[in-house]
Amino acid sequence: MSGEVSTSPEGNGKVTRVIRMGTRKSQLARIQTDSVAEKLKELYPDLQLEIVAMSTIGDKILDTALSKIGEKSLFTKELENALERNEVDLVVHSLKDLPTSLPPGFTIGAVLERENPHDAVVLHPKNAGLTLDSLPEKSVIGTSSLRRAAQLKKRFPQLEFENIRGNLNTRLKKLDEKEDFAAIILAAAGLKRMGWESRISQVLGPEDCMYAVGQGALAIEVRARDRDILEMVSILHHPDTVLRCIAERAFLKQLEGGCSVPVAVYTEVKDSVLYLTGAVYSLDGADCLKDTMQTNIELDNKVNESTEEHVNVAITANNISVTALSAAEKLGLDLANLLLTKGAKDILTTARQLNDAR
Ligand code: DPM
């Protein structure tokens, strides 16, 4: 293995590797990294894990909506530099923050079992007991996600939507301590990981708000050439989650979407069939193209021999059937192509232009 090698503290002569895990400094990032560290420690009790925390552009620019910063690798660049320089061996991310293509030399070596992928409503304490349906007219809802705003504007036209930025702690503070927002919308997964599940007053189902590509899943980014680390983390892959996320990422990639366009998905695996619903929206949600397709993902025994990526969405999953991986990717491509033939490109181009002009 490349990297540092040290002898174990017991002095029993056993050689163990120090694995350095890069993380952002936010509380959510730390919690996510610690949870992966715990899993690795359980699987490989001899590993020595070190956590290296850094700030990223996304953490520093807290006053601008994500969709307006225009940097795709907002939360990832500094961490990738550290990976490249061998200062860390792996980085834990929320998959939804990872672009569908990574710079050369990096790959996602594990996608862990997805938490609840849906968005949730967190109410100002004075509105306890209400829902998006029963909040007073013109109540202001905080979100800077174009995806959430587009869907919810259409579904709840009596409400108003305004940007809110900052990490989860800042947002909850802004909600509770001021009168600016009646409620805010956040991913249920992040709230749960922070221990704030009790603040969730409503989980939004797909009829109200479909989720972002990769939402709720953690991903481990590694150096693509580092076979040992790739092999070590690959057992953390959760097959259904990987296949769902490959389909979702292929869909987004084919649409040429990023975090600055209103694209949403909903996926399910039932009896070896993978279902993908995908949609694109205008900023006000008035224009919407949405469709569902499915594919068989029966896992055969044709497991990958190599540690190469078998799909074009920056994920390496050599312990999962190549046939299933390819079927999932094709599903995403096919659904995107279907929406493109119906005019998805125009909707997204207009949304992008209007958002840039704001
Ligand atoms: C991305 C978006 C947001 C994050 C856009 C979207 C939300 C931005 C905002 C791509 N990344 O969802 O349409 O509300 O202004 C982010 C969160 C998590 C990962 C927080 C959240 C935690 C959940 C997870 C920010 N990234 O969405 O409430 O692990 O999926």
Question: What is the average pLDDT score of the chain?
Answer: 91
C-alpha 36/C-alpha 255 separation (Å) is: 31
Amino acid at 303: V
C-alpha 97/C-alpha 42 separation (Å) is: 27
Residue nearest to atom 15 of ligand 1 (CA): 144
Residue nearest to atom 27 of ligand 1 (CA): 187
**pLDDT tens by residue, 76-127:** 788 999 999 999 999 999 999 999 999 999 999 999 999 999 999 999 999 9
215, 249, 261, 263: which to mutate for ligand 1, most atoms within 8 A of CB?
Answer: 215
Task: Determine contact, residues 32/40, Cβ cutoff 8 Å.
Answer: no
Given 89, 97, 287, 334, the catalytic residue: 97
Host H or E run for residue 356: helix 344-357
User: In the prediction, which pLDDT does 193 show?
Assistant: 98
C-alpha 69/C-alpha 238 separation (Å) is: 32
Query: How many other C-beta atoms can be found within 10 angstroms of the C-beta atom of residue 57?
Result: 14
Which residues have CB under 8 Å from 85's CB, separation 6+? Answer: none
When pLDDT is averaged across residues 178-193 and rounded to a whole number, the result is 97
User: In the prediction, which pLDDT does 316 show?
Assistant: 97
Task: Determine contact, residues 323/272, Cβ cutoff 8 Å.
Answer: no
Lowest mean pLDDT among 38-42, 156-160, 255-259: 255-259
In the reported structure, the alpha carbon of residue 218 is separated from the centroid of ligand 1 by a whole-number distance in angstroms of 12
Is pLDDT above 70 for 12? no
When pLDDT is averaged across residues 22-46 and rounded to a whole number, the result is 95
346 among known catalytic residues? no
Residue entry with tokens 């968005």: 119
> How much is the CA Rg of the chain, to the nearest whole Å?
21
In the reported structure, the alpha carbon of residue 144 is separated from the centroid of ligand 1 by a whole-number distance in angstroms of 9
Amino acid at 103: P
The partner residues of 140 in beta bridges, in order of sequence, read 160
35, 59, 96, 113: which to mutate for ligand 1, most atoms within 8 A of CB?
Answer: 96
C-alpha 304/C-alpha 328 separation (Å) is: 15
User: In the prediction, which pLDDT does 42 show?
Assistant: 97
pTM: 0.92
